[in-house]
């Protein structure tokens, strides 16, 4: 069956959601993306335009068989159905490398999950080499006993209540990443985020400090059909870390998810962020695999 490719349009969001969900149904949790990565990635970002950065491959029936997403920081993601011919992955990597050259990049990197032997063979055959430690994926099963949240004295956890809290919600997100890299999540950006089809206000959690301000936050994205949730992102204001605030936030969210009938939840972190990994493991998450980054010089 012949394949064609084209750039993304916003009407494609349900098809991308379905493809990511189907891949999880077939191979989860040993996959690189959850639907939460789609919606968090589609938030407005400087120098990023999904209608130029995402390319779709469809068969002669118009069915989506895969897509790739260039993120303008010398890297990108490839998502294909497991039964898709490897030639499609080669086409995607060709497009990525061309886009990277056009953007002035000297190299291009893409992630490959531990168990994706076919993808790894393709990358090695194209002179990609492992460039850094793998980022861990952590999973928790919500069928057993959960630890009590127990926020520190003076703190409490809840979901945001409505549009009137969006400015404060965006502010705590910016504060959480203020010591790492500047965040462009303004109130206007967050208003766009809450319009995403998979966004749920009851799954947008904040911790509130003694002064009444938001001090920690997380968005939870729930695949209702598969009963799998993702925490993306998770952050805490630097002045409120190492107090147990974000741990209480996560445990409260996990209890809410279990009440919804959720069976599993997943979270990712950087290989360099040992504090985040320790936090997630203290809540009951366990490492189930890694995304390894492979880089190719394209000068």
- Could you read off the pLDDT of 136-160 as tens digits, one per residue? 999 999 988 899 999 999 999 999 9
- Would you list the domain boundaries of the chain? 3-135+292-297, 144-262
Query: Quick one: pLDDT at residue 47?
Result: 85
Q: What percent of the chain has pLDDT over 90?
A: 88
- Could you read off the pLDDT of 288-298 as tens digits, one per residue? 999 999 999 99
Query: Quick one: pLDDT at residue 131?
Result: 82
Q: What percent of the chain has pLDDT over 70?
A: 99
- Could you read off the pLDDT of 247-283 as tens digits, one per residue? 999 999 999 999 999 999 999 999 999 999 999 999 9
According to CATH, what is the number of the domain 3-135+292-297? Answer: 3.40.630.30
Instruction: For residue 184, name the pLDDT band (cuts at 50, 70, 90).
Output: confident
Q: Kindly state the average pLDDT of the residues 58-64.
A: 93
- Domain 144-262 -> CATH class: alpha beta
Q: Kindly state the average pLDDT of the residues 228-254.
A: 97
- Could you read off the pLDDT of 24-44 as tens digits, one per residue? 999 999 998 999 999 999 999
Instruction: For residue 2, name the pLDDT band (cuts at 50, 70, 90).
Output: confident
How many other CB atoms are there within 10 angstroms of residue 260's CB atom? 16
Q: What average pLDDT is seen over the chain?
A: 94
Whether residue 232 contacts residue 41, with contact meaning beta carbons closer than 8 Å, is answered with: no
- Same topology, domains 3-135+292-297 and 144-262? Answer is yes
**pLDDT above 90: residue 180:** no
Query: Quick one: pLDDT at residue 54?
Result: 98
Instruction: For residue 1, name the pLDDT band (cuts at 50, 70, 90).
Output: low
Of 125, 91, 96, nearest to 110 by C-alpha is 96
């Amino acid at each position: 069956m012949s394949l064609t490719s084209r750039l993304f349009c916003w009407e494609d969001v349900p098809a991308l959601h379905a493809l990511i969900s189907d891949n999880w149904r077939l191979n989860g949790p040993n996959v690189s993306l959850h639907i939460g990565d789609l919606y968090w990635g589609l938030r407005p970002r400087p120098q990023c335009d999904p209608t130029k950065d995402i390319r779709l491959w469809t068969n002669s029936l118009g069915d989506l068989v895969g897509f790739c997403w260039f993120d303008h920081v010398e890297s990108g993601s490839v998502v294909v159905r497991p039964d898709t011919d490897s030639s499609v992955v080669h086409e995607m990597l060709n497009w990525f490398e061309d886009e990277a050259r056009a953007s002035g990049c000297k190299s291009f990197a893409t992630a490959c999950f531990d168990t994706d032997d076919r993808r790894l063979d393709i990358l090695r055959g194209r002179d990609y080499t492992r460039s850094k430690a793998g980022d861990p994926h952590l999973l928790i099963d919500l069928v057993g006993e959960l630890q009590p949240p127990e926020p520190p004295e003076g703190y409490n956890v809840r979901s945001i209540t409505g549009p009137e809290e969006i400015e404060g919600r965006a502010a705590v997100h910016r504060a959480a990443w203020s010591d790492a890299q500047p965040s462009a999540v303004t109130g206007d950006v967050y208003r766009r985020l809450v319009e995403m089809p998979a966004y749920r206000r009851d799954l947008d959690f904040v911790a509130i400090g003694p002064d009444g301000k938001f001090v920690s936050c997380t968005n939870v994205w729930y695949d209702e059909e598969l009963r799998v949730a993702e925490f993306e992102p998770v952050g805490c204001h630097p002045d409120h870390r190492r107090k147990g605030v974000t741990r209480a936030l996560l445990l409260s969210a996990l209890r809410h998810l279990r009440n919804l009938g959720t069976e599993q939840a997943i979270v990712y972190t950087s290989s360099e962020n040992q504090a985040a990994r320790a936090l997630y493991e203290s809540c009951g998450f366990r490492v189930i695999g890694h995304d390894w980054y492979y880089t190719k010089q394209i000068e």
